[in-house]
Structure 1
Amino acid sequence: MVKLLNGASVGANGKAIGQAHLPFFNIRDYGAVGNGTTNDIVAIQAAHDACTAAGGGIVWYPGGFTYVVNTFIAMGANNTVYAYGATIKAIGNTGLVRNFLGTDNFTLYNGKSNVTILGGTWDGNAGDGTNNTTTGTTNVMGFIHAKNITLRDVTVKNVSSAHGVEFNAVDGATVDNCRFLGFRDNSGNNSRQFSEAIQIDIAVSGSSSIPAFDNTPCKNIFVTNCYMGASETNGVFGKLAGSHTTVSGVVYENINILNSRCDGALDIGIRALAWQNSSIKGNTIKSATGYAITVESFDSTGIKSVRVLDNKIENGSSGGIQGVGSSTAWLQDLLVEANEIYGCSGAGISIVGSQYPVIFGNAIRSNGSTGIFLNGGFAGVIEANRTFNTGSNAVNVNNQASVLIQGNHLSSPAANYNINIESTTDVFITGNYLYLPVNNRACINFTVSCNNCTAIANRLRLGANSAYAVRSNATNGQNNYFINNDCKGFGNTAIYYGSSGQTSGFVWNTGSSGTPNGTVLLTWTNTANTGSNIV
């Protein structure tokens, strides 16, 4: 006996038992052979048409067989497929499943809805046309203008140039415990390297297969416990999941990529383009060509409240996590928390064009560039992060006013500074442990028009003999203060004060002796300590 949906089961005679109110359709009763060579499209379509005419039910693809079809299976509303143990394979030059006909026309989320696919290996049969039939650009599964689509325990493999699954103008989709194996770019010029295993799309001409092209976006999408990698015959997709189509003023809402794994990506592991109120959590992304995770606004349309949490990122050819906004399309309230980023060639976390970002509790090590980069926005918190052996600055804040840098452990940058502050105002640096700056560099560096910045109560420890605790070379910088920091071991080289036009103070810094380097007049914050720091 095989268990079905809602308590229904299949007995030895292939008939449904229990839950009699759910109609049941066995594709073999409609003539499907399942021998791997006979085209079963007519039989399978007849079973689905009967299911749809009955108002919905269960269409059973008995396991242990390979059913081949030469065109798409059109699933109607309220169709539930049970295909555990079965293989469904393309032998034409199209994909396998759609919830629409080419003549359909739907608006908003008013198309054929409540479609569920449980189990099965859905093989798109992509190749060069010699041993495999599919060479065109085609999705294996596509769902458009619909509500409530569920894929569970499904394997989608060998996709030609497009997507394993496309959700276009869909409200409410779940992809759970599914595997996406094998992608082939048959474009001839590598122009499809961006293709997602799971595409989250919007109804516009050129992106949606049928009208209406009414700019309806996807929303309420959940991808959980999924896997993307190579198949026996084809390589990896461009992305595990993402979007690459936008319309000005329209955003995707409540998109969630959770607890999934991406082994390799020709482009970006997960691309959250125009996603709002969304989460990317608990994923493992290895060896992506681009950034492992990218969150992007676009055009003049900002986005808010995206959470990037508890992901593990390894050995990317670019960086770890990237946020991309602008002064006309801000990233607002972006949270990047508790991610582990190891061995990426670029920056660990790079966020540009953001307002009120929070970068909290991340671990970054052995990456080839900056650990955490924050640039071109307003406000933000960088707290409780750990970096080790970054290729450049452990933390770099550039042109981002009103930033708190607190409680971080930043160790052993291979070049430049533990903390670098450039062309910005109102940065407060406190409670950090900064260790082993390199030759002629410093734990904390103020440079190029830094104003109203304060470093207080930090612990700084010497690296190279010619390194500094703090380097204030901020041309035209005003009112920058270095107060009550622990600089034991630096001695006379603790403070470098190198540019004219500054007014700054260095007071009550334990372990720092002598007058700072440079000849400019210093303005001290404590007259009892004029001219030197406390040893």
Structure 2
Amino acid sequence: MRDWFDVKDYGAVGDGTTVDTKAIQAAIDDCFGAGGGYVVFAGGTFVSGTIILKSNVYLQVNPSATLLANPDIGDYPDGTHYNRYINEKDMDKCFIYAEDAANLGIVGQGEINGNAESFPNEGSIYRPMMMRFLRCRNIHIKGVRLYNSTAWTTAFLDSENIWCEDLDIRNDRRYNGDGLDYDGCKNVFISNCKIWGTDDNLCLQASSKAYPMQNVHITNCHFTSICAGIRIGLKSVGDISNVVIHNCTFENVWREGIKIECTEGGSITDIIAQGLVMRNVTRPVFIILNNRLDTIGSSIGLAAMPEIGSMERIHLSDILATDDEEMNNTHFRFTDDMMGCPSFAGIRVDACDSHPIRDLTMKNITYTFVGGVKKEDIPAEYPKVWDMRYGHPGQVSENYYPTWSRATFMDIRNVERLVLDGMKFHALKEDTRDSYILENCKSLKEDITEY
């Protein structure tokens, strides 16, 4: 039985100029027809538009090979499934695509390059994502370098049994520069990955009740992001649960290190993040339980303002977060999209008075913040989280607002059964705001030291 299908045997040239899309797809189709195996790229730069990956087929990109996205958008047909954000529903182009397939993947030590500079920077459907898997099973992405996608690097949708290992992801030249995105997936294993991007490095979401996000393991990874490092939620129509984050580093993350947002009526429960080291992360932890329906960021299937969902059993421990002089600066995405500044920084947890977060533990966290903010330089009124189904003020506390913090290190509001144990705070510069604020927190255990 033949297991290896070299794309050059099908007429692929690999000279960096000739378009090899048809030859590559022919090799994949023959591999699938033969019962499966490896489609091999070696010794060249292979230019291609959309290729459809199939069951029992692995792409093997050898160290001597690059798979480069064709700059001609005409080589990317429709029908490779849309993004699930309301404001991005037309982004239906994709470089590598698989649907209803099993036992497939991409391996090797070579490079897949999205050729980002050849496409628009934002606001266009003519930006093919690097890879998307829809309703697939048993997916392995291992060892490859994933560079310069025009939008998200990966999207795994309604899929299960996914391994992403030993990946070098760099997506820092265009908007929507996500690294690993999972929506409605279960049994996900992520290890030994380095991710650098202009948007969230790693996302876990559930845009449908039919497909919960569950059983996720993230270990030994490094994150650098203009936006967030690890984001759990925002899209949370369905439930997200059973997530373990362990032994990871974060460096130069201009918004949040760990960001947990239950905003669309589902639940986020049973999350553990332990053994994290953060350097220059604007907000090491941000957690919010609320409800929203917005033209930016909400799920496509969300037609009306949802009830507030639930958030329970979140355990964050053994975290070192340290600022240096870099964090005196205001940081932007590209030219004018402000991401973070000293007055925006700090650990923040918030919820509606009538829908508190339950069973939150933060233990052994040492946070060295650059400081230097004067209380008189921030607004006196700090908005609350409201149930948005009913009357509310014009400005409310939500996922992207307010853009300042009322406490130097930590602000926690509306939590039942809150445990703070071994919390140590230090400011490099004098900061005249309250050091920390705990408001409407019940069954509180508190051990906080400022030095």
- In structure 2, the residue corresponding to 1:136 is in which secondary structure? coil
CA gap 1:26/1:39 in 2 versus in 1, 3 angstroms: same
Q: Is the 8 A contact 2:144 2:167 kept in 1?
A: yes
Give 1:349's match in structure 2, choosing from 338, 347, 350.
347
What corresponds to 1:313 in structure 2? 278
- Structure number having the greater strand percentage: 2
1:197 lines up with 2:179 in the alignment: yes
Tell me by how many angstroms 1:228 deviates. 1.9
Aligned counterpart, 2:220: 259
Once the two structures are superposed, what CA deviation does each residue of 1:238-275 show, in whole Å capped at 9, x if it has no partner? 0111146634686411233322112232x222111143
For 1:328, the equivalent position in structure 2 comes to 308
User: Deviation at 1:383?
Assistant: 0.6
Q: CA deviation at 1:304?
A: 0.9
Amino acid paired to 1:374 = I
Matched, 1:221 2:221: no
Match of 1:155 among 137, 140, 145: 145
Residue 269 of structure 1, aligned match among 220, 229, 237: 229
SS at 1:328 equivalent: coil
Is residue 251–residue 303 contact of structure 1 (8 Å, CA) maintained in 2?
A: no
Of 396, 404, 413 in structure 2, the residue corresponding to residue 375 of structure 1 is: 413
Structure-2 change in CA distance of 1:332 and 1:370 (3 Å): farther
- Match of residue 240 from structure 1: 201
Residue 158 of structure 1 aligns to which amino acid in structure 2? N
Q: 2:228 is aligned with what amino acid?
A: I
Map residues 413-428 of structure 1 onto 2, 5 A cutoff.
Answer: none
Distance 1:175 1:68, change over 3 A: same
The runs of 5 or more residues in structure 2 that have no matched partner are 77-93, 291-306, 328-341, 352-356, 372-406
Q: 41, 47, 50: which one pairs with 1:61?
A: 41
Letter in 2 for 1:112: A
Distance 1:151 1:359 in 2: 33
Matched position secondary structure for 1:305: strand
* Matches of 1:83 and 1:249, distance apart in 2: 35
- Where structure 1 has 5 or more consecutive residues not aligned to the other structure, the ranges are 1-20, 101-110, 186-191, 202-216, 230-235, 413-535
Q: Does the Cα contact within 8 Å between 2:40 and 2:62 map onto a contact in 1?
A: no
Among 55, 69, 73, the alignment partner of 2:51 is 73
Q: Is the 8 A contact 2:119 2:126 kept in 1?
A: no
Of structures 1 and 2, the one scoring higher in RCO (CA 8 A, sep 6+) is 2
Query: What SS does the corresponding residue of 1:310 show, helix, strand or coil?
Result: strand
**In 2, Cα distance between the equivalents of 1:367 and 1:350?**
16
1:22 positional shift: 6.2
CA gap 1:247/1:116 in 2 versus in 1, 3 angstroms: closer
TM-score by length of 1: 0.60
Please tell me whether Structure 1 or Structure 2 has the larger radius of gyration of its CA atoms.
Answer: 1
How far residue 298 of structure 1 moved from its aligned partner, in angstroms, is: 2.2
Query: In structure 1, which of residues 121, 130, 154 is the aligned counterpart of residue 111 of structure 2?
Result: 121
Q: Deviation at 1:300? A: 2.5
Partner deviation per Cα, 1:14-69 (whole Å, 9 max, x = no partner): xxxxxxx562212222222211112112221111111101111122212x311111
d(CA) in 1 for partners of 2:219, 2:28 = 32
2:273 matches 1:284: no
User: Tell me, what secondary structure is at the counterpart of 2:265?
Assistant: coil
Instruction: Provide the C-alpha distance between the structure 1 equivalents of 2:161 and 2:366, rounded to a whole number of angstroms.
Output: 34
* TM-score after normalising by structure 2: 0.71
Q: How many residues align?
A: 344
Letter in structure 1 aligned against 2:47:
V
* Whole-angstrom CA distance in 2 between matches of 1:128 and 1:79: 29
| Matched AA of 1:323 | I
Query: CA-to-partner distance for each residue in 1:93-148, whole Å, 9 max, x for gaps?
Result: 34431114xxxxxxxxxx11111211221111111559xxx982221111111111
Task: Give the Cα–Cα distance (whole angstroms) in 1 for the partners of residues 411 and 244 of structure 2.
Answer: 21
The alignment yields a C-alpha RMSD, in angstroms, of 2.4
Aligned position for 1:482: none
Deviation of the 1:364 alpha carbon: 0.7
Instruction: Report the counterpart of residue 444 of structure 1 in structure 2.
Output: none
Task: Give the structure 1 partner of residue 12 of structure 2.
Answer: 32
